[in-house]
Structure 1
Amino acid sequence: MNDCCGLINRTLTTMSGRLSFRNITALAPMVRVGTLPMRLLALDYGADVVYCEELIDIKMVQCQRVVNELLDTVDFVAPDDRVMFRTCEREKDRVVFQMGTADPDRALTVAKLVEHDVAAIDVNMGCPKEYSTKGGMGAALLSDPDKIESILRKLVGGVNKPVTCKIRILPSLEDTISLVKRIEKTGVAAIGVHGRFKEERPRHPVHCDYIQAVAKAVSVPVIANGGSLDLVKTYADIEEFRKASGASSVMLARAAMWNPSVFSPKGLLPVETVMEEYLKYAIRYDNHAFNTKYCLCQMLRDKVETPQGKLVQAAQTNAEFRFMRGFIEEQQAKRNALQSHCLQDRPIMDGDVLTMAVKFERREYPPQITPKMFLLEWSRKEKLEQPSYETVQRTQDRAFQSTVTVAEKKYRSSLWEKSKKFAEQAAAIVCLRVLGIPEGRIGEEDSGLVCKRKREMKGINGSDEEGSKKRHLVDGQEEIKTTKTESVTNGDCHTQNSEQTKS
């Protein structure tokens, strides 16, 4: 919850109790993003106002208002039982219902249907996508100022909640100012201005000069939008965007979609933390699984092809996302461990196993050299039994974790790996680091544990450090594998059967 909750409650409403749009930060309306979980999360992080995704009047007019006692929500349900809009008491005085419409009467019908459950009504006049413009809605309205005026006057006169609209700028500054002055005369409470032309896309820079001119031309609050590309990356940037645009308020779309903690004055949180909090709301309010998946993928951005991202994409139900919450907690622990070098250097006892948060990064080692090779050769040099690896696979995401036993002591990485081989390498690293033994990383002084000829033989044979006894547990089934090993005796390399080798 926002630490400034008391202050916000005093400044968000006018003397009449209506929502004020001056000096606010808002979650902008975004299709497939602005559903209840994302709106609540944005409020938690500090957004003052949240807009729902654009909802088409033709679909909404068929809905029935249903009180959902199980979820403690108010649902607007279509004839096919789809929930078109879901809200709750937590956001009642903060949520703006945005509709797509090209018909004044139908717009009013929808507004009257939802007005007792929302804080304000907004008309989308800026979306350039075909699903909106083909019905004369969205940015298509910009070329029909008479219809804009008709819709807004009908709504302002027909409902008891503030009415706003969100536009894009027109090709000329004069036309843009002329339009917003007509809009102001309809009695709207605020005007949202996306500072791009209809044909421009997010990759194009926002035109702050246009927003400045609009803000000077009208007396109602102007809400600047479109700064996520190059202006708003952190909470501090929100105020800079407001000043650069000359607007009263700011609404964020993509910056908030990628990480809604951008609204927090305490700074951005790791995306894993944000995803975990989002999932709590998605599960609590029975959000549609495909919508949940879409929002999580937007947060992952360029990490969508990572194991975590593939897990998100594979999920089909909220039940599967319940498992993923635990996975995300693990990812957060991994992030914290990797960012804190001191934690990696301090082993922790987990039962009878020494653990460290260690990842095996292949690029950190020379070709044909691995930590397992170093551990094997060190064990032979010390006349110990060769290392024994026990590997388990986690059913839900098929990740691996391995425990290595050396001299009757066990070592394991607390992090899970994408393959069995990587998991064993990570376990070997933990053992080597705890014992203070070189592990063969690039830049380490040559320890002489692995001879040159052995490296060459490994390149020819394509084998890993065979010889370790491996127990592989998959879904509770133990599989014992014994393979060939290469041993070094007095500096000479040769191959023997692991069952016959004793150093």
Structure 2
Amino acid sequence: MIVNNLTLCYQGKVILAPMVRVGTLPMRLLALDYGADIVYCEELIDIKMLQCKRVVNEVLDTIDFVAPNERVIFRTCERERNKVVFQMGSADAERALAVARLVENDVAGIDINMGCPKEYSTKGGMGAALLSDPDKIEKILSTLVKGICKPVTCKIRILPSLEDTLNLVKRIERTGVAAIAVHGRKKEERPQHPVHCDIIKAIAEAVSIPVIANGGSHDHIKVYADLEAFRQVTSASSVMVGRAAMWNPSIFRKEGLQPLEKIMQEYIKYAVRYENHYTNTKYCLCQMLREQLETPQGKKLHAAQSSQEIWRQYPPQITPKMCLLEWCRKEKLAQPVYETVQRPVDRLFRSVVTVSEHKYCSALWDKSKKLAEQAAAIVCLRSLGLPEGKLDDAQSPLMHKRKVEERELCQDRENEETLPGGAPHKKPHLTLGTTNHSILSRP
């Protein structure tokens, strides 16, 4: 179904559900990597968003909505611009419209969460509290549909009776929303209670707009094939996945789940890249570990009090480029700029990195553009006396695995200067020259 030039949902599509504290940028991007079609941000309260200022973050290449205390409330990037739905907690039509207009140019759609049963939401008249006030639901949704150009959706839970539930969804349909997500549980029910697939099916058959089935993670969705099975049993247009995607975002991968170790490292790379707050990073990693939290490594993660402590437990591929970028951020410098050329005679690459108007490069030529950029970053880091991405815990299984892979790569590479993952093999040759691609400038 095409709505306002946005493929919001259609048969077979899968969506990363809005989950409190989970739908931050690193998790959303990881879900997209593995095949999620649409991702939702975590529920963000309208009053908090109205205090925010929209900021173009040139260092991270993100759009940030920043509170007066400089806390980033919502962060997004160009890659997910047509994929991310902004999920809002609101109990007031005018406030909801003001927030929607603030963010609509940076997101694919706006969603009102009417299903959250948590006290922080319901005590303000938001979330599941709205289910007992259909007039307010209608006013909020109608105001948004008329007031913005992006698709509007909402997420509900089922009511005590089927008749009341159907009356509500038909009233919601008349507001002009693009789709409705249905968590197939009552507001007092929790994940351990079975999801009411029959109620979702009755809703899907009663309305003409797309219905997104939600709530199947605990009993129904374990692997990719279960997404389609859940869609079929509910007769829904698509499936929204929350906890199953949080446990392992590769649930969206048709070829099957990826190992948890790989997923966690990939998640941490995004967390580092986009400066995710360590408490959220820690929370998401703990959700991935689940039953492994009682292991020694799990306990160390649970006790971690900083991003650095987390990285030491689950080291991502910290590359020289990542180290250089992080240093530039801390020093409030423009992000490094890489210029790479390829030599026609042998198709090898060499890169020059510019940092604070100084240029750095290696004398060696590399077999890939990526390695050439890493070599330039190492030259810069060594010239500035900065760390290159080595990790202290050299005995960890992940570091051992990385070193094995690096040794194998080293054997295939002549005159190697640097290895993937940031571990130096040979000290780079630093040369001074007269062309843009052979200059090493020292500050």
Q: 1:84 aligns with which of 73, 76, 89?
A: 73
> Matched residue pairs, number?
327
What is the alpha-carbon distance in structure 2 between the residues aligned to residue 214 and residue 270 of structure 1?
Answer: 37
- SS of residue in 2 equivalent to 1:151: helix
Moved over 4 A (4+): 395-401
Code of the aligned partner of 2:150: K
What do residues 75-107 of structure 1 show as CA deviations (whole Å, max 9, x unaligned)? 000111110000000100000000000000000
Q: 2:175 aligns with which of 177, 186, 195?
A: 186
Counterparts of residues 383-398 of structure 1 (less than 5 Å): none
Partner of 1:310 in structure 2? 299
Structure 1: any 5+ residue segments left out of the alignment? 1-12, 330-394, 402-413, 416-503
What is the alpha-carbon distance in structure 2 between the residues aligned to residue 57 and residue 325 of structure 1?
Answer: 35
Counterparts of residues 273-288 of structure 1 (less than 5 Å): 273-288=262-277
Alignment of 1:14 with 2:2, yes or no, is yes
- Contact 1:283–1:322 (CA<8 Å) still a contact in 2? no
- Contact 2:89–2:126 (CA<8 Å) still a contact in 1? yes
| TM score, norm. by length of structure 2 | 0.71
Code of the aligned partner of 1:301: R
Counterparts of residues 21-170 of structure 1 (less than 5 Å): 21-23=9-11, 24-170=13-159
- SS of residue in 2 equivalent to 1:110: helix
Code of the aligned partner of 2:66: V
Partner of 1:3 in structure 2? none
What do residues 246-290 of structure 1 show as CA deviations (whole Å, max 9, x unaligned)? 101000011001001000001011111100110010000000011
What do residues 343-395 of structure 1 show as CA deviations (whole Å, max 9, x unaligned)? xxxxxxxxxxxxxxxxxxxxxxxxxxxxxxxxxxxxxxxxxxxxxxxxxxxx9
Structure 2: any 5+ residue segments left out of the alignment? 319-390, 402-443
Partner of 2:230 in structure 1? 241
Structure 2 CA distance for partners of 1:163 and 1:295, relative to 1, 3 Å: same
- Contact 1:121–1:164 (CA<8 Å) still a contact in 2? yes
Partner of 1:219 in structure 2? 208
Partner of 1:459 in structure 2? none
- Contact 1:21–1:189 (CA<8 Å) still a contact in 2? no
- SS of residue in 1 equivalent to 2:124: coil
Cα distance, 1:314 vs. partner?
A: 3.0
What do residues 378-424 of structure 1 show as CA deviations (whole Å, max 9, x unaligned)? xxxxxxxxxxxxxxxxx9669799xxxxxxxxxxxx79xxxxxxxxx
| TM score, norm. by length of structure 1 | 0.63
Partner of 2:260 in structure 1? 271
Q: Which of 1 and 2 has higher RCO (CA within 8 Å, sep 6+)?
A: 2
- Contact 1:68–1:75 (CA<8 Å) still a contact in 2? yes
What do residues 310-345 of structure 1 show as CA deviations (whole Å, max 9, x unaligned)? 23223322233343343899xxxxxxxxxxxxxxxx
Q: Bigger radius of gyration, 1 or 2?
A: 1
- Contact 1:19–1:120 (CA<8 Å) still a contact in 2? no
- SS of residue in 2 equivalent to 1:304: helix
Q: 2:239 aligns with which of 232, 250, 259?
A: 250
Code of the aligned partner of 2:223: T
RMSD of Structure 2 on Structure 1 (CA) = 2.1
What is the alpha-carbon distance in structure 2 between the residues aligned to residue 400 and residue 186 of structure 1?
Answer: 56
Code of the aligned partner of 1:98: Q
Q: Could you tell me the percent identity over the aligned residues?
A: 69
- Contact 1:286–1:318 (CA<8 Å) still a contact in 2? no
- Contact 2:4–2:151 (CA<8 Å) still a contact in 1? no
- SS of residue in 1 equivalent to 2:187: coil
Counterparts of residues 321-336 of structure 1 (less than 5 Å): 321-326=310-315
What is the alpha-carbon distance in structure 2 between the residues aligned to residue 290 and residue 26 of structure 1?
Answer: 24
What is the alpha-carbon distance in structure 1 between the residues aligned to residue 178 and residue 51 of structure 2?
Answer: 27
- Contact 2:21–2:280 (CA<8 Å) still a contact in 1? yes
- Contact 1:19–1:162 (CA<8 Å) still a contact in 2? no
- Contact 1:139–1:167 (CA<8 Å) still a contact in 2? yes
What is the alpha-carbon distance in structure 1 between the residues aligned to residue 227 and residue 178 of structure 2?
Answer: 22
Cα distance, 1:309 vs. partner?
A: 1.2
Structure 2 CA distance for partners of 1:222 and 1:15, relative to 1, 3 Å: closer
